[in-house]
Structure 1
């Protein structure tokens, strides 16, 4: 059983293996350590088989680079922060609306 996160070298090896699999018409296997953005890009290649375009392959490589440099995680965190902020704003608006309806 693995403990901790895979190293960048292990991730690169996993990415290369999964990329080879999807280019050969197989799916994306689980427990690779690859993030959602990278897996989604790899699935797009698998779904396009046997017609994976260079653009799809480049998109997968960019997604994987984003995993390695942390930009995918930063974007995900920002999206979650925005979602929670919007949720709190909607909750406050409902409470204000209920308060004004009760005061009528």
Structure 2
């Protein structure tokens, strides 16, 4: 069974929930849909509880926006182009 990628709205809701969990020291849940970079930052936030530096929260928000941009870029790319790119041989210009 194929799983559909979450919508941007679902990802934003998940990010908000996981950030709230992390700020309280609980950390993110498994299967939140967040990329590993955001997930790692959420754990850094949880580990820093209760004295969380603002730069960690800012970094998590920035990385999350990158995740959203990657998702939107992926969805804007026609499926045939994605298949062709995944079947191509890596080159120096396109190492994958």
Superposed pair shares fold, TM > 0.5: yes
Q: Distance in 2 between matches of 1:18 and 1:24?
A: 10
Q: Shift of residue 53 of structure 1?
A: 1.0
- Match of 1:5, SS state, is coil
The answer to whether 1:29 aligns with 2:13 is no
Gaps of 5+ in 2: 72-90
Which protein is bigger by CA-based radius of gyration? 1
Partner of 2:58: 58
SS at match of 1:70: helix
Task: Describe the superposition over 1:14-52 as per-residue Cα deviations: whole angstroms up to 9, x where unpaired.
Answer: 000000001111121000110011111111101111111
Q: Structure 1 stretches (4+) deviating beyond 6 angstroms?
A: none
Q: Which structure has more RCO (C-alpha within 8 Å, separation ≥ 6)? A: 2
Q: TM-score, normalised by structure 2?
A: 0.69
- RMSD across aligned positions (CA): 2.5
Stretches of structure 1 lacking an aligned partner (at least 5 in a row): 72-80, 86-104
Aligned length: 75
Could you report, residue by residue, the CA deviation over 1:24-83 in whole angstroms, capped at 9, with x for unpaired residues?
Answer: 111210001100111111111011111111101000001101101119xxxxxxxxx88x
Moved more, 1-10 or 22-31: 1-10
